Every structure is written in C-alpha cells, then in structure tokens.
Amino acid sequence: MVTYIIRRLIWAVVMLTIVSIATFAIFFLVPRLAGATSESLAARYVGRTASAEQVKIAAEKLGFNDPLVVQYGRFAKGIVAGADYDYGPGVEHCPAPCFGYSFLTRLPVWPDLLNRLPVTISLAIGAAVIWVIAGVATGVLSALKRGSLFDRAAMGVALAGVSLPIFFTGIVSLVVFSYGNPFRITAPGGSFTPFEENPAMWAYNLILPWITLAFLYAAGYARLTRAGMLETMNEDYIRTARAKGLNERAVVVKHGLRGALTPILTIFGLDLGLLLGGAVLTESTYSLPGMGKYAIDAILAQDLPKVMGVTLVAAFFVVFANLIVDLLYAVVDPRVRLG
Amino acid sequence: MLRRRLGVAATGAVLALAVAACGGGSGSSAPSSSGGAAAGSDTKSEFNAALTQVVNPSDKKGGILKFANGGDWDSLDPGDTYYGYSWNFIRLYGRSLLMFKSGVGKEGNQLVPDLAEDMGKPSDDAKTWTYKLKQGIKFEDGTPVTSKDVKYAVERSFDKEVFPDGYTYFNDFLAWPKDYKGAYKSKDVNTDSAIETPDDSTIVFHLKQPLSNFDYFAQLPATIPVPKDKDTGAKYKEHIISTGPYKFEKNEIGKGFTLVRNDQWDPATDPNRKALPDGYEVSTNVNADDIDNRIIAGDLDVDVAGIGVQSAALGRVLPDPAMKANSDNPTSTRLWYTSINGNVPPLDNIDCRKAVQYATDKVALQTAWGGEFSGGQIATSLLPPAIPGHEDFNLYPPGADNKGDLTKAKEALTACGQPNGFETNISYRAERPKEKQAAEALQQSLGRVGIKLTLKPFPQADYFALYAGKPGYAKDNKIGLAMNGWMSDWPDGFGFLQQIVDSRVIRDTGGSSNISVRDPEVDKLIDQAMKETDTNARNAIWTQIDKKVMEDSFILPNVWTKTLLVRSKNATNIFVNEAYGMYDYLGMGVK
Amino acid sequence: MTAPMDVTGGDAQATPEAVVDASGGKAIQGRSLGQIAWMRLKRDKVALAGGLIVIFLILVAVFAPVIAGAFGQDPTQFNSDLIDSSTMAPKTGTGISADHLFGIEPVNGRDIFSRVVYGARISLLIAFLATLLSVVIGTLLGVTAGYFGGLVDSIISKTMDVFLAFPILVFAIALAGIVPDSAFGLTGDTLRVSLLVFIIGFFNWPYIGRIIRGQTLSLREREFVDAARSLGARGPYIIFRELLPNLVAPILVYATLLIPTNVLFEAALSFLGVGVRPPTPTWGGMLSDAVRFYTIPHFMFFPGMAIFITVLAFNLFGDGLRDALDPKAR
Amino acid sequence: MSFLELKDLRIHFPTDDGLVKSVDGLSFTLERGKTLGIVGESGSGKSVTSLGILGLHKGGRARISGEIWLDGEELVGASLEHVRTLRGKKMAMIFQDPLSAMHPFYTVGDQIIEAYRIHNDVSKKVARKHAIDMLGRVGIPQPDRRVDSYPHEFSGGMRQRAMIAMALSCDPELLIADEPTTALDVTVQAQILDLMRDLQRDFNAALIIITHDLGVVAELSDDILVMYGGKCIEYGTSEDIFERPEHPYTWGLLGSMPRLDREPTERLMPIKGSPPSLINVPSGCAFHPRCVFEERTGGRAKAEVPELLETEGGHLVRCHLPRERRRAIWENEIKPNLEAS
C-alpha cells in the first residue's frame, strides 16, 4: 500500500513536470515561432512608452535572452524555491510557490490564484453535490423502471442535457431568471460572496451557475448510472441476494448500487478534478471571478505568468484527483490489489 | 492616454457579457418624487437634463454611494492610473496641485487650485512654472503634506517599468538630468534641474521647452503627493495614503474596495469638495449588463466607468419615455477613428487614401459604434466639438445620405492607379466587439469599390506595442488600416492632438498611439502651438493642424463618442462634467 | 444465466460472439456484423431519426451557398437600412421576413438564417476532421499499445494519462489565441480551421486510444489471432489484417460519439473568441455576439438551437449505433 | 400431502422472437429428507424450474401457471412479498458459480450475516458467531479468520462451501442446488457432494440437485427427473434411471457420462445434435430430431406429443416406443456398450 502511494506520488510529480514543460513551451516557444522577440516580450513589462534601449535592458534583466531551458529552469526554481522581484523601491522575495508576476498588474500571481480558488471550489463542489444526487437517483430509477415512461422521459432529458452547450443554457438561464427580471432569482455572477462572510448571499450568487453546471453533468451521470445499474442488476450476486429473501430495496441499494457506483466514482473524481482547475465556460458565461475566468482573461491579455500559474494549478487538481480516485478505488473494490 | 481609457471592461469582453468601450450609467424613474432635493431647485427629470443643470440638488450629508466597474481598475496608484473615470474618481482620495472644477457641463473644464494656493506662475517664457502649496494639508496619518512629497510623487511616476500604465508628459517635458531613471533606480541623483522645492510649500517645475498650458500637467494625478516612507512601488496601489476627504478602508485588487471619511482632511483647505456621502463601495469586474440592470433597479448608483449602457439596456431605456427622461447623452472628447497607414502601399499614395475616405459608409460606421445615442455623432474631422479649436468642415463629403460617394471614390482610385481597387488588412482589438463591428462595416463599404479588407484582430494588451502600433510589423503585415481611438487628456488642442498626430512620438519599438500621421509640417505647427501663449491664437493653430491632417488623409474619422448614462435613483447632485464626459463623482450625494 | 434470459437480451450476445469465434476471415464477420447492426438499427426509430437529421445537416453544410442563395442572402451582407439607428435593434424587432427566415442581427442587420446555414460548414468540417485526426492517432497508438504490450504499452498509456491530465480547454484556448494570423504558410480561415482541427483532434485522441487499446487487449487473445500467429504472420500483418477489421465496430461507434463532443468544443472556442475569424459565421461566434443583445432573443436562439440539434442528432445516432454494434455497452 | 408438490407448472417468457416455453407442464413431489435430482442439458428448463419455485424467475415478463405447494402453502398465487419471506428461511438455493454469485465487495462473513439477520432478529455480534459456526460446519479451516475474507480470496471449493454455509444459515427445509459442482474440479466436486449429503442428513431438509451430469446425482439422489425441452421425459428412483432407463435421451445421458466407479471407456455415446429451441419446439416428440430410434416409432414421433406414462412403480417415461421395445433396446443395444470395458 505505502509503496503504491509513493509510486503514485512520484508519477504525479512527473506528470506535473511534463505539464509545466508543455505549458512553458506553448507560451514561450509558440510566440517566438510566431515571430515575437525577447524585446517584444519585455516590452510588455516596461509599458508602451518605453524607449528601445529601456526595453533591451528589461529584456536582459528578465532573462528573455537566455536559452529557453535556462528560462524554464528559472521558472521551475521559482515554483519550488521562490524568486526575487524588483517592485521599485526595493527587491522583494516572492516565496514559493512563486509563479512570477503579472505583466499587467505587476502583482504576484500566486495570491491571485489563492484569491480565485474559493470561487471555483464553491462552484464545483456545489454543482457536484447537486449533479451526483440528481444524476445517480435518476439513473437508478430509470434502470429499475427500464422501458417505462419515466425511463424514456428521463433519458430523453438526459440526452438533451449532454447535448446543450453550457454557454447557451447559461445565457438563457441568465436572461430568463436574472436580467431585468422583476423577481431576480439570482445575481448573474460577477459577484461572489465568500461562504464564511454570508452563506445566504454565497448561495444566492451561485445557485444559477450551480444548476446549469449540475444539469449538464447530472445528465451524463444519469446515463452512466443507468447503464451501470442495468449491468449489475443482471449479475448473479443480485439473484443470490434475492434468494436470501432480502427485500428489493436492500437488493437495489446494498447490492446493485454498490456495484454500479464504483466506476462512476472514478469518473466523478476526474470530473471534479478538471472542474476545480477552473470551470472555464461556466465562469465565463456567468463572469464568476474563479480560476477559469482568470485563465481566459489572462490568455486574452497574453499575461503569460498568470496563464502558466493557472494552467499548472489546474493540472495539479487533475493529477491529484487521479491519485485520490486510485486510492479510493482500492478501498471500495477489495479485488483491486495495491503494491 | 486613450488606449488605457478605452480599456474599460475590455479584457474578457468577448467572454463575459461585458462590452469594451461601453459601460453602465445610473438610473432613476422619478427622482422628483423622492425627498432630499433642495427646495426651489428644478428637479423635473428630462432627457439630457444633467448636461446643463444639477439634477436633485441637495446638501444632505451621509449615506453610502455604490459604484461598480465592468472591468478591472487599471491602477488606483496616482502615478500609474490612466483612465478618465479614474481621474474623475481619484479626486475623492487624492489632491493634485490643480484640479478640474466639480461643475456642470463646460464649467467642469475649468482648472482650479487644489493643493496649490493658486494657478501656476509661468516664468522664463513658460519654461518654468511655480506653485505654492496651501498650509494645513495632511496625509491620512496626520503628517503634513510638503512640496517634497509632490516632487517625490512626480519622480516615482517617471519609472515606467514600475508604472507602465501611466502617461509620460513629465518624462518628456521636464528637464531631467541625463540618464535619469526615476525615484527608484536613480535614488541619489539630484533632480533640481527638473523639479525644485525651495521650501516645504513651494514647488518649481523646469521644462525642456516652453509650454504655454503646463497648468493642465499640474492637474495630472501624478502630482498627488506620495509619502516616500510609505511608498511600496508597484504595490502602493494596494494601500494608498489619502490626502482627500476619503481614505481606503479595505482594498482587494480585482474585486473592489471601500472608502471611508478621512478625519485628517480639513474642509477649510478645500473649497472644491462637498464630501457629502459617508463612504463609497466600489466593486470591480462586475458583469456589465448586470450593472445596468442593478442601476435601473436602483440597487446600484453609478457605473464608474461612465461610458454608457450596454446594447441590451439601450434597448430598454430608449423606447421607454420614463426611463429615457432619466438618462443623459453627453458627447465626450473621444474620437473613434481609423488610422490610414501611409507606409503600406498602395496607401502611400494620397489618392488611394482619399478613395478610402470617399468610399466609407458613415452611417454603417455610426451604427457599428453603437448608433446615434451610444455610438456617437458622425465625425468629419479630428477635434471633437467640445474642444476649443474645433471647426465644422468636411473635406470628403460622403454623399447626401452619408453612405459614401462612390463615384468620387472610383475617381480617386483611378488617380491612384488602382481603378479596380486593392487589397489590404484592417486591424482591431480582439476584445472589443464594437471595433470588430466597425471594421466589418468598413470591410463592407470599401468592398463596394473593390477595396478588399481582411480583418486582423490582435490582443489589445499588445495592440500598440507589438502589432498595429509597431511600424515594422504594420508594414510587413500590410496593416493598411487600423482601428484606433483617442480621448483628450484634457480639453484643449494639445491634450487631444499632440499624442496622435505628432510623428515624433512614433517609435520603431512601437507603443505610440499615432500609427499613421507622418507630416513634418504638422510637427512644425505643433511646436508653434505649444509656444503660443495667447489662447485664441493657439486654438487657431490646432484648427490648422486638424485641417492639414485631414488633407493628408492619414486619419479616417469615424464618430465623436456619445454615451447614454442613466441616473441613479438614490443619488443627489447628478450632473455631467464635460472635462470627463461623464457624471461628476465629486459632487454626488445620497438622498 | 438461464435459458430465457439468454433468449431475451440474448441474440444480441450470442450471434456476434459465435460469428467472431467461427470466423477466421474478416469478410464474413464484417458483413454479418453489419447485417446484425442494421437489423437492430432499423428497429431503433429514434436513432434512425438522429441519423436522418445528421444527413440533412451534412447536406445543408455542403449546399450552404445554394440554400442561402435561394433567398438571395449572403452571410456577410449588411442590411443597415433594416436597423433602428438609435437602439441598433432590427426595426421590426426581429427582422423576420420572407427574405430573412430567422430574422437579422442587430447593429449590422446580417441575415441570421444564411449565417446559421454557413455556420454548419465550419462546425461540421472542423468536427469531422478533428474526429478523423483523433481516430487515426488514437487507433494507431491504441492498437500498438494493446498488441505489443510491455514497455510500448506502458509508454503509450502513460502518454495518454498525461494528456488526460491537461486542462484541455485552457490549453486549446491558449494555443488558438496565441497563434498569429498567418503561420505555417497558411492564412485566414484555412489557417484557423486547420489550427482548430489540430488542437481539438490532438487533445481528444487519448479517449479513443484507451478504448481501442482495451479492445485490442481482448481481441489479441482470440483464436483467429493465435491462428494467424501460428501461421507465422508478423505483427503489422496481424494488426492490419486481423485486428483492425475487428476494431471497425468500436471505432465507428466512438467516432460517431466523438463528433458531437467536437462540435461543442469548436463552438466553445468560437464562443470564447479564439475560433474562426469574423466575418466568417460560426455558431459559437454568433452566440457570443448575441449575448450582448439578450433583449433580442431570436439572435441567440437560432445559433444556440443549431448547436443543440446538431449535437443531439449525432448523440442519438451514436447511441443507437453503439447499442446496435456493441450491445454489451447499453 | 407431500412437503413439496409441483402440479403442471408452466413458465413461459414472451420475447420479441416468440414465446419461450422454458417449463411446460412439470409435475413432481418431494418429501422432507429426500433428494431429487433434476437432470438435463442447459436450456432444458431445469434452472428455470428451481427459480420458479423460489419465485426468482424474471417476475415481470414471465408467465407462470400451475401450482407449487410447499409445506401446504401454494406459492404461484401467493404475494411476492410473502414468497420473499419464505426465501432463505424455508427454501434456500445454492448457485452454480460461487464467484459471480457472491458479492465481490462484501466479505463472506458479511454476506452470511446478512442472510441470517434477514430472518433472525439478532445482533450483528450473534449473527457473526453464527456465521463462523456455519463456516466451520461446512469445513472451512480457521473460520474465525476466514469469515473476514472476500470471496475472491477463497479457492473455488472454499467458495462453494461458503455458498452452502450461506444457504443453510437459516436451516431451510428445502434446499435447491443448481449445478453446485460444475464450476469445480473433479476431486473438489466429490468433497462438496459428500458435504451436501452429510448436511442434508443433519438438517433433514428436502434437497433438489439440478445438474446436466448424471454422475453428480448418481449417489446423492433418491429420485431423478430427466428434463428435455421444458418437459419431464423420464422420472423414477435413482435405481430406475441407472438400472432400467427407458428413454432414449436418458440412454444418451448415461452414455455420455464418465463414471467414477468404472473404467473410463473410449466408447462414450454422445447425443448428436444440440438442444432444441424453446421457441419453436420440434413437432411431436421434442427429442425426435436427435433420436436414434425415431424411425422405429413409425413416424408417430414427428406427429404427436408423447404422454408421460407410468411403466411400473412410479417410473414414468414420455416416449412413443412400446415398453417392451424400449426394454429390449436397453438390454441388448445400450447396456452392453456401456458396461463393455
């Protein structure tokens, strides 16, 4: 078990490194392929009014002239060991993990991320709760009442659900429930209230994004659960359970669902991991100040340090989720051997 | 300054429901009905009332004003901020040497002393300017403000690595010592050649060249004093030391901040500020459409960006007489235009440039920019009507219906040797739907005479520094036309024209707002104007410059911006200050 | 299981198994599998409907110019005269008329119908090509991993893991946003389309890859493969002559199911402003324009529904196809 | 009346392809302490019969008719809920493949405890003790430790023992074993069969063993019922079936049976062809297409369905061949071959 965890941890680190290299390549290599020079990159740091040689100096100082490997090394070092930054009156140490400083705001990226994280977490967790309950419940019912009117209706809705682009449902929901609506059911994002500050407002601001996001996933999960249930309910051990004289509810829940849920657990872990990295579309649609919105804004403003930061954090969540899922899996399914 | 000023709500506009260069306003359905309005004053609400009078005048103190920003604040640091609304707002927590009067309409264009006792005293034929500071002005921590603090503030603003957003007027015009790098990098350099402080209440500016209107410099936020020992450079914007009637209570960059009364502010030293509310709540990065709806619903007072309601709200306000009666439609000193790059063949030929002027469908352009209310008034020259020196003339009459004069265009094309038209590219800022619409409109109308345009969106963060504004890139990539815009830093010819028509601001490294105007004569005229101390004579020269640039056809004027602002339901003393082209934030109070 | 259950769900399992086992040659197998699939598909009316819509959409995309032309409309043509210059909304509210079936856009008055029709081109073109790319990469690597196993397998599998660990959307946006307007000798729509195809296809292959790998692992143990091997067939031969033909079914199914995902992906990128450049109409792009005019709902309705119907149709058809070809996954 | 009695039991499944007559008019009786072996190829309907008795045939779609009397109670008409309460308590079942028949996520102990507590209102602790006893009784070493193992940690034989322990945990009066040994290798088979014999003696339960392999029931059963195409084609005591079988199909079964007590003969006589479709059952005698002696019936086999008739002393046979003819064929043609060695 322990060795297994350690092996997985090492692998996780390797993955993150690869992702970071890829990210770095995309954002520092592609622009150069696209014709950007170290000067043009530095130009972003010194503002548009800087003179040619000011830019040169900056480029030198920021090390844009060094080979990419060196630059990556510096970047990586910043994350693990922190880095020093000249903010004007003096030089300041940016403690690890230091993702560097934003081109535009001149402020360190890491605090930004910490500041955005709660939003995304609230969004993801809230939605997850809704979609797991709704999705699994629907799926189980459909499976038990297979072919019934309910089943067909539910699956119809579910299929529609997975076929709707969230930025469409999002906008429609906003128009219907929020904008210029006499009874504004919710604030259309942009505004986020931390839970600890005011739970009511917190929920009020998130309810619409939650439902929209949850609907999308619930649809998928309903389909998955149904398929899983149909499979397990045909297993021999279900017949055994019935033969014991177990009542149908116990058979379904204790024996059927238990078996059907295991694969769903895996998918759930990964979905959640991806979401925590930033529900890009949802946050953009509702302009929620979360990781996803942060990523988009950073990308459009070509604020590379920000993008690097947010991408890595996102990747971290996915890798981390993978790890958790693997471990959990071993717990739920005794047949999985670790080591 | 314009790139910044228009940056409002731009980032992520494509994604969020925000729209660049188009913001919220404040709304009200029946202000007269509610109390608080001073008796006798006319408060009946009608369209454009706040352009000429104070709506809901009142001296009632107390209450909190709620502001929202569709985008992010470029910077709250007086040395770094370059948004018009920010200059309007900064007067609440910072005092510069001079300031624009908190007055209705044109009255607002008037400069009045703030820190200084009086307007600047020019000497050495306008190459030296001296200001005396009032006594008894303190920072929020009680330490008295001295001329040294003002000097330091200007010096620190010099460092564009730390404050890249700011303007460079002081950098360019003061007689700095050679290789001066600003307060941080050249700590011990003696800067008396540029700024002298003979005593704690006197500050003297020395210029490289005569500048007749330096007083406009003296109202720039960069002259708002900064205590050296409290300065944290790039991070100063996180906790600014106030000199105005309000100071920062809480400030979360990217989310918002709150202002509370500053007990160290002494009304006796300040005839310009009423300081009615007890405080301000400002949230940034708020969904722009929601700002409109919240203002109309009355649970928000002002869209601080002050550049008009979103398209959606426009459709709600205008058709509804009651709502329309509570909105104002000021014309700002902003010009949306298209740079015609003479370096990109065949546009190096003046006739080809003229063809572009004639072929343009101005009506389509106007609609693209947002129509007659939120778009603007069709522009035929550079200087906006509000700016002294403006003259109505139109060198390229676009036909009766304003949809372009195609025959003239064809003639011009033939004269240019491209009878069947030509191909070139038009650039615009990717985050700005309206620039995109305008570019598409041009693509349409020029297409009618065979001038084929390809749209080239660029990230606005690098629009000037790397793409459209970088001569080399523009030439190599055949960016013949570039969407552009400019708003006067202050209401006079210099403030409006200098940055966009002086060919000497163009640098190979890019970054200048002037992308296309290269005419030595124009440069000469500018120098004349800057020397000219007689205001009327000076304005005459600016008019001349305007004409010359139009003759050269380096610029295709689109519209002079108009914005639809909606008045707040809860605010008093609502009026438009022409200096900012939006509601004046200093006068406003709460019912 | 007991007899009756075999019979009920059973012909499903029984027949293809039998066929596969019996057949050394793919010919018989392929055909009969096809027949069975078709037999079941015919029973599945919903899936058929989906299939028909899909065909319809493809035709629309192909004949876009004809269709739009029939109404004398061009997707980029402005109709400023139909726009109220104060509110920038269509004068008649929606602008819906005989010429403009879906009405017109605010501000510039472009014909929404023809834009939606043309939008189908970009959407489907990118979705198909991207899927093709994913399938090719996924199948080759999947089969290779599954067949050779060992180090090859673990390398390829790990690669897939890494890919799945990427915050794909962010990466895609970043890439699409960062590539200049002319690169790799391409410009304009050609560049954007190929760029999007590459990005979408490239990030999606691991999903196909995983499935194919699994299938290969199981196929590999089948008699006819051993048979081939015992007859001295080499790796490549077995892969191409024995394995691939038997993978046709899953590949077909998952390709069909990947297309709608890619339609959504493309729409998302266009919505976020990094898709194909204006004025070329894309559904996602139209939506992001429409957002600002939510008081003019018909503007967002049509592109939105276009995306929805397309994705739904492909999903319906894909599901049906899967049930038909691979009944175990129900 | 007898402890278990089936009267003309019919279980039919309507499907897209037609009506599947899995069980078509089956009748038999069984007393406490007795063992009945039901023999037949897969698809002969034997498993459905057993499931039918427990009411586990896919309820919704199945059409069931006839009567099942268990200890004086009629089950076909009874409410599902009532039948459920009988399941596990009064009648229990042992399934073919213990690996798939036990839930992989719960320990063997848990599954026995669950079974026990359904019908006995006792604390977990008590139930656990009981489970350990049961495991011990079915001969699992260190039951107190193994009780916490998962099915996949058991060997095949152990698993089957555990299955049995679970089935017997509420000492049912009727125990049905569906192919209890097919999944096991020969030596283990023997052990399990012995175990079941012993247990049945202790519990004095009625036992039904369902198998396709006469060998399994050879020693165990008192009576044997041979099923074909959902019908009973021969019924009699173990002795009847092994010493005086009268149905060609039974002969076939005997012929294809490897006998532990005899030298393995090379001359096994497998039955040609494959089991009949239950949807369109062959006309007349369902077995006629595979019957070696079909022509000796002078075409009747194809035409009419034979009756199940008593030959002597409760020995029933469903065949058109006249009794003497059958006897003769057995004595002269089949038996010698079987015994030849």
pLDDT at A186: 57
pLDDT at B205: 95
pLDDT under 50: residue ranges of chain D: 264-266, 341
Ranges of beta strands (E only) in chain A are: 83-86, 91-94
ipTM: 0.76
Answer yes or no: do C288 and B14 touch at CB < 8 A: yes
The shortest C-alpha distance from D57 to chain C (Å) reads 9
pLDDT at B119: 92
Mean pLDDT value across residues A51-74: 77
Q: Which residues from B are below 8 Å from A305, CB to CB?
A: none
pLDDT at B98: 94
Domain residue spans of chain C: 34-325
| CATH 3.30.160.20, applies to B331-562 | no
Closest CB to A243 among D88, D104, D105: D88
One-letter amino acid at D154 equals F
The shortest C-alpha distance from D202 to chain C (Å) reads 31
Domain residue spans of chain A: 1-98, 110-337
Answer yes or no: do C107 and B17 touch at CB < 8 A: no
CB A26 within 8 Å of CB C174: yes
Measured CA angle at B124 (ends B120, B126), to 5 deg? 45
User: Could you tell me which residues are beta bridge partners of residue B19?
Assistant: B22
pLDDT at B32: 35
Question: Higher confidence at residue B13 or residue B586?
Answer: B586
- Spell B11-27 as b/e; 16+ CB within 10 A means b: bbbbbbbbbbbbbbbbb
Residue B552 pLDDT level (bands cut at 50, 70, 90): very high
Q: Which residues from A are below 8 Å from D114, CB to CB?
A: 244, 246, 254
pLDDT for B5 beyond 90:
no
Answer yes or no: do B437 and C108 touch at CB < 8 A: yes
pLDDT for A236 beyond 70:
yes
Closest CB to C3 among D16, D22, D61: D22
pLDDT at B131: 95
Task: Report the distance separating Cα C208 and Cα C141, nearest Å.
Answer: 10
Closest CB to C2 among D15, D17, D51: D51
* Mean of pLDDT over chain C: 78
Q: Which residues from D are below 8 Å from C4, CB to CB?
A: 11, 13, 15, 20, 22, 48, 57-58, 62, 278
Q: Which residues from A are below 8 Å from D93, CB to CB?
A: 243
pLDDT at A190: 57
Residue D125, number of CB atoms within 10 A of its CB:
9
Mean pLDDT value across residues A229-237: 84
Helix (H, G, I), strand (E, B) or coil at C155: helix
Q: Which residues from A are below 8 Å from D102, CB to CB?
A: 237, 240
Mean pLDDT value across residues B245-269: 90
Answer yes or no: do B15 and A293 touch at CB < 8 A: yes
pLDDT for B6 beyond 70:
no
Answer yes or no: do D22 and C6 touch at CB < 8 A: no
Answer yes or no: do C167 and A319 touch at CB < 8 A: no
pLDDT for B118 beyond 80:
yes
Give C149: exposed, middle or buried? Use CB within 10 Å, 0-12, 13-18, 19+.
middle
The shortest C-alpha distance from A234 to chain C (Å) reads 9
Answer yes or no: do C293 and B312 touch at CB < 8 A: yes
Task: Report the distance separating Cα B89 and Cα B101, nearest Å.
Answer: 13
Range from A39-53, A72-86, B550-564 carrying the lowest mean pLDDT: A39-53
**Residue A164: C-alpha distances to residues A167, C264, D129 (Å):** 9, 8, 56
The shortest C-alpha distance from A297 to chain B (Å) reads 5
CB B362 within 8 Å of CB B445: no
Helix C283-291 with C112-148: angle, nearest 10 deg = 120
pLDDT for A189 beyond 70:
no
State the count of interchain CB pairs (< 8 A) between A and C: 131
Range from B118-122, B347-351, D94-98 carrying the lowest mean pLDDT: D94-98
CB B531 within 8 Å of CB B210: yes
Mean pLDDT value across residues A224-241: 86
One-letter amino acid at B155 equals E
pLDDT at B2: 39
Task: Report the distance separating Cα B83 and Cα D123, nearest Å.
Answer: 75
The shortest C-alpha distance from B163 to chain C (Å) reads 26
User: Could you tell me which residues are beta bridge partners of residue D18?
Assistant: D15
Q: What is the CA radius of gyration of chain B?
A: 24
Q: B505 — contact with chain A (CB < 8 Å)? A: no
D and B interact (at least 3 Cβ pairs within 8 A): no
Q: Name the range with the highest mean pLDDT among B167-171, B545-549, C66-70.
A: B545-549
Q: Which residues from C are below 8 Å from A168, CB to CB?
A: 287, 300, 304, 307-308
pLDDT at C18: 30
pLDDT at A180: 58
The shortest C-alpha distance from A267 to chain C (Å) reads 12
Answer yes or no: do A240 and D101 touch at CB < 8 A: yes
CATH of domain C34-325: 1.10.3720.10
Q: What are the tens digits of pLDDT across the range A144-163?
A: 888 788 888 888 888 888 88
Answer yes or no: do C165 and A319 touch at CB < 8 A: yes
Class level of CATH domain A110-337? mainly alpha
Q: Which residues from C are below 8 Å from B373, CB to CB?
A: 86
Q: What are the tens digits of pLDDT across the range B52-77?
A: 899 999 999 999 999 998 877 878 99
The shortest C-alpha distance from B283 to chain A (Å) reads 8
CB D180 within 8 Å of CB D208: no
Tell me which H or E stretch contains A242: helix A236-243
Answer yes or no: do C7 and D278 touch at CB < 8 A: yes
CB A143 within 8 Å of CB A225: yes
The shortest C-alpha distance from A20 to chain B (Å) reads 24
C279 contact partners, CB below 8 Å, separation of at least 6: B440, B443, B455, C75, C76
Q: Which residues from A are below 8 Å from C308, CB to CB?
A: 160, 163-165, 168
pLDDT at B194: 92
Residue to test with chain D: of A230, A231, A237, most D Cβ within 10 A: A237
Nearest-by-CA chain C residue for B22? C292
Fold designation for B64-280+570-590 = D-Maltodextrin-Binding Protein; domain 2 (3.40.190)
C281 contact partners, CB below 8 Å, separation of at least 6: C75, C76, C114, C115, C116, C118, C119, C122
Q: Which of residues 248-287 of B touch A (CB under 8 A)?
A: 252-255, 283, 285-287
Residue C12 pLDDT level (bands cut at 50, 70, 90): very low
* CA-based nearest residue to B97, from B77, B115, B123: B115
Answer yes or no: do D48 and C4 touch at CB < 8 A: yes
Answer yes or no: do B254 and A289 touch at CB < 8 A: yes
Task: Report the distance separating Cα B582 and Cα C308, nearest Å.
Answer: 43
pLDDT for A294 beyond 90:
no
Question: Higher confidence at residue B307 or residue B132?
Answer: B132
* Mean of pLDDT over chain A: 80
pLDDT for C140 beyond 50:
yes
pTM of the shown model: 0.78
The shortest C-alpha distance from C2 to chain D (Å) reads 6
Closest CB to A311 among C161, C167, C300: C167
pLDDT for B481 beyond 50:
yes
Residue B96 pLDDT level (bands cut at 50, 70, 90): very high
Q: Could you tell me the two tokens for C224?
A: 């006819």
User: Could you tell me which residues are beta bridge partners of residue B123?
Assistant: B128
Residue to test with chain A: of C5, C170, C310, most A Cβ within 10 A: C170
* Mean of pLDDT over chain B: 85
pLDDT at B353: 94
Residue A316 pLDDT level (bands cut at 50, 70, 90): confident
Range from B131-140, B146-155, C132-141, C316-325 carrying the lowest mean pLDDT: C316-325
Domain residue spans of chain D: 1-90+174-189+199-249+275-330, 101-171
CATH of domain D1-90+174-189+199-249+275-330: 3.40.50.300
Which residue in the block uniquely carries the two structure tokens 């979905």?
Answer: A271
pLDDT at A27: 73
pLDDT at B22: 33
pLDDT at B247: 94
Nearest-by-CA chain B residue for A53? B509
| Residue range(s) occupied by CATH 3.10.105.10 in chain B | 331-562
pLDDT at C29: 39
pLDDT at B409: 93
Answer yes or no: do D48 and C11 touch at CB < 8 A: no
Answer yes or no: do A332 and D114 touch at CB < 8 A: no
Chain D residues contacting C via beta carbons under 8 Å = 11, 13, 15-17, 20, 22, 42-43, 45, 47-48, 51, 57-58, 61-62, 278-279
The shortest C-alpha distance from C142 to chain A (Å) reads 20
Range from B167-171, B208-212, B315-319, C174-178 carrying the lowest mean pLDDT: C174-178
pLDDT at C16: 31
Residue B27 pLDDT level (bands cut at 50, 70, 90): very low
pLDDT at A133: 92
Residue A87 pLDDT level (bands cut at 50, 70, 90): low
pLDDT for B377 beyond 60:
yes
Residue B130, number of CB atoms within 10 A of its CB:
15
Torsions phi, psi for C182 (to 5 deg): -130, 125
Q: Which residues from C are below 8 Å from A281, CB to CB?
A: 169, 268, 271-272
Q: Strands B64-68 and B279-283, how do they pair?
A: parallel
Counting as contact any 3 or more CB pairs under 8 A, the partners of B are A, C
Answer yes or no: do B19 and C80 touch at CB < 8 A: no
pLDDT at B357: 94
* CA-based nearest residue to B4, from B82, B76, B70: B82
**Residue B207: C-alpha distances to residues B173, B174, B192, B194, B195 (Å):** 6, 4, 11, 7, 9
Answer yes or no: do D45 and C3 touch at CB < 8 A: yes
pLDDT at D258: 60
The shortest C-alpha distance from C261 to chain B (Å) reads 20
pLDDT for A31 beyond 80:
no
The shortest C-alpha distance from A306 to chain B (Å) reads 14
**Residue D274: C-alpha distances to residues D47, D172, D233, D249, D286 (Å):** 18, 36, 17, 12, 12
